[in-house]
Amino acid sequence: MTIGIIGAGISGLTLAYELQRQGIDYHLWEAADQPGGYIQSRREWPGSPADSGETGYLRELGPNSLLGDADLLLWLDELGLTPQLTFSKPVSKARYIFRDGHYRQLPSGPLSLLLGSFFSWKTKLAIFRERNNRTVSPDGETLGQFFRRRFSNEIVDYALGPFVAGIYAGDPDQLLVSETFPLLIRYEKEYGSVLRGLIKNQSATGRRQSFSFRDGMQMLPDALAAKLTNISFNDSVRSINPNSGGWQVTTTKGTQRVDKLVLTIDTDAAARLVEPHYTDFARTLRTISYPPMTAVHSSYKRADVRHPLNGFGGLNPKIEGRFAAGHIWSSSIFDGRCPSDDVLFTTFVGGQAGACNTQLPDSVLAEKVHQELVDGFGITSAKPVFQTVYQWKRSIPQYDINIAAVKKPVNDVEADQLFVCANWYGGVSLSDCIGKARKLAVQLAIK
Ligand SMILES: Cc1cc2nc3c(=O)[nH]c(=O)nc-3n(C[C@H](O)[C@H](O)[C@H](O)COP(=O)(O)OP(=O)(O)OC[C@H]3O[C@@H](n4cnc5c(N)ncnc54)[C@H](O)[C@@H]3O)c2cc1C
């Protein structure tokens, strides 16, 4: 049996690695000249030679970190990556939110929530009363509706909204609770309260850690790709056609028949390939939206930044009308991101709420980010010592009503030996993608 895999992002690479470990024949095609898809790290030494011994600047264009449990860490250990792991610093647990003209720390525990002044008394009371709220989630409820029903508008505006923009680049009033955080619906059903469910299951969720790698996230796809024997780069899949119960795959470099075929590519690319065989499936795939997102990296001399940057970063609620979605304090989270007397910010502009801001020319966008950093973090220098702009025209698939409609056709095409293992089906995070690929590798071996 041969399994074809289209796309060498984290999903395709993990799947190929797991099939290879089981001794199953596979071929992995990647259109680009390198593995990783959205995972892209760059280490640069502007103005000084690479062999100067300096850290340089380590930029993540896509994902900045991975949230994983003990099982994922064991899997990375088998890959030989344990010595390369770098865990996020304890200080980065603190999240800051822009409110009342400055970045304020979001309460992280019950005591700071009740005694602090971040939330109004009305919201504190709503949180206290949540365990008596006997309403249940109707079908198709959005995250915003769910949190307004159980808590308050303020929670949606100043906690959920920025959080959801950070993970999904999305809008809580469009993302479905069933597609993004189904656990919340389960807690509501099982415990009659989300907070009670969270407390009861605290030990299970609390074991996850956030980490990256010494030379950035790119080390993960590079390590996986280095293990693979059947991967081809610069080899875009042009068409797929049914062939004797399997699929004939035509790529830039040739043609191959496989018994089963797995799509790990984005919805537009998938729609192009399936359209001749499944018109409705292709139409459904084309309804899935990916807002644009621009990553701006800015570095300043530490001495020129008044804010202590003692946390993960500062997020901007949509209601505050700021330019960026938020600013990650990259050098506060991980060591080795910039020279020791500098600090490095990773700013995300765009997402569902700020898509139009990504349309500005790079120079204007970079200046607007600089001004927001100056204003928010007390920066005294006239310009950054280093600044870059990178745009994703399509960033993260939106888990809204359209994505819910894709489940049925995905299940249906499995009968034709066509499978999906992509970030638009069953979870978007890197740990979701790795988990789904590991599971599918086992299923394909026995199917
Ligand atoms: C800006 C940004 C920040 C993020 N931050 C985080 C984070 O901090 N933590 C986290 O867990 N997740 C984060 N995510 C989400 C996560 O990075 C992605 O969901 C994940 O990397 C998707 O991996 P994938 O393999 O499913 O798809 P992709 O990475 O899209 O890989 C698909 C691959 O298929 C290839 N391809 C496409 N068409 C063809 C074809 N016809 N033939 C051959 N190859 C083809 C593409 O070149 C690509 O390499 C972030 C995403 C973005 C955009």
Q: How sure is the predictor about 53, in pLDDT bands with cuts at 50, 70 and 90?
A: low
CATH number of 107-205: 1.10.3110.10
**Average pLDDT of the residues of the chain:** 95
Q: Which residue out of 237, 274, 430, 440 has the highest number of ligand 1 atoms within 8 Å of its CB and is therefore the one to mutate?
A: 430
Q: Is 249 in the pocket of ligand 1 (CB under 6 A)?
A: no
Domains 41-92+291-392 and 107-205 share a fold: no
Q: Which residue out of 42, 255, 265 has the highest number of ligand 1 atoms within 8 Å of its CB and is therefore the one to mutate?
A: 265
For residue range 121-158, list pLDDT tens digits in order: 999 999 999 999 999 999 999 999 999 999 999 999 99
Higher pLDDT, 125 or 47: 125
Q: What pLDDT was estimated at residue 205?
A: 55
> Which of 85-89, 201-205, 373-377, 393-397 shows the lowest per-residue confidence on average (mean pLDDT)?
201-205
- For residue 401, give both structure tokens: 């009503």
Q: Give mean pLDDT, residues 426-445.
A: 97
Q: Where exactly are the structural domains of the chain?
A: 2-38+218-289+399-446, 41-92+291-392, 107-205
User: Nearest residue CA, atom 49 of ligand 1?
Assistant: 37
> Which of 21-30, 39-48, 325-334, 420-429 shows the lowest per-residue confidence on average (mean pLDDT)?
39-48
Proportion of the chain above pLDDT 90, given as a percent: 92
Neighbours of 432 (CB within 10 A): 16
Cα–ligand 1 centroid distance for 430 (angstroms): 9
Q: What pLDDT was estimated at residue 206?
A: 55
Rounded to an integer, what distance in angstroms lies between the CA atom of residue 410 and that of residue 414? Answer: 7
Q: Give mean pLDDT, residues 390-395.
A: 97
Q: Is 396 in the pocket of ligand 1 (CB under 6 A)?
A: yes
Return the ligand 1 atom nearest residue 433 CA. 26
User: Nearest residue CA, atom 53 of ligand 1?
Assistant: 395
Q: Domain 41-92+291-392, what architecture?
A: Alpha-Beta Complex (3.90)
Q: What pLDDT was estimated at residue 51?
A: 46
End-to-end CA separation in angstroms for the chain: 11
Q: Give mean pLDDT, residues 55-60.
A: 93
Partnered with residue 237 across adjacent β-strands are: 251
CATH superfamily for 2-38+218-289+399-446 is FAD/NAD(P)-binding domain (3.50.50.60)
Return the ligand 1 atom nearest residue 272 CA. 41
Q: Which residue out of 29, 38, 288 has the highest number of ligand 1 atoms within 8 Å of its CB and is therefore the one to mutate?
A: 38
- For residue 108, give both structure tokens: 């992280």
- pTM of the predicted structure, to 2 decimals: 0.96
Q: What is the DSSP letter of 408?
A: H
Statement: residue 204 has pLDDT above 80 = no
Statement: residue 284 has pLDDT above 70 = yes
Q: How sure is the predictor about 207, in pLDDT bands with cuts at 50, 70 and 90?
A: confident
> Which of 82-91, 112-121, 343-352, 387-396 shows the lowest per-residue confidence on average (mean pLDDT)?
112-121
Q: Is 228 in the pocket of ligand 1 (CB under 6 A)?
A: no
Statement: residue 47 has pLDDT above 70 = yes
Q: What pLDDT was estimated at residue 275?
A: 98
Cα–ligand 1 centroid distance for 38 (angstroms): 4
CA distances for 184 relative to 69, 96, 195, 296, 389, angstroms: 20, 24, 9, 33, 36
Q: What pLDDT was estimated at residue 48?
A: 65
Q: By C-alpha distance, which of 101, 145, 152, 105 is closest to 124?
A: 152
Cα–ligand 1 centroid distance for 325 (angstroms): 20
Q: Give mean pLDDT, residues 256-269.
A: 98
- For residue 295, give both structure tokens: 């990553």
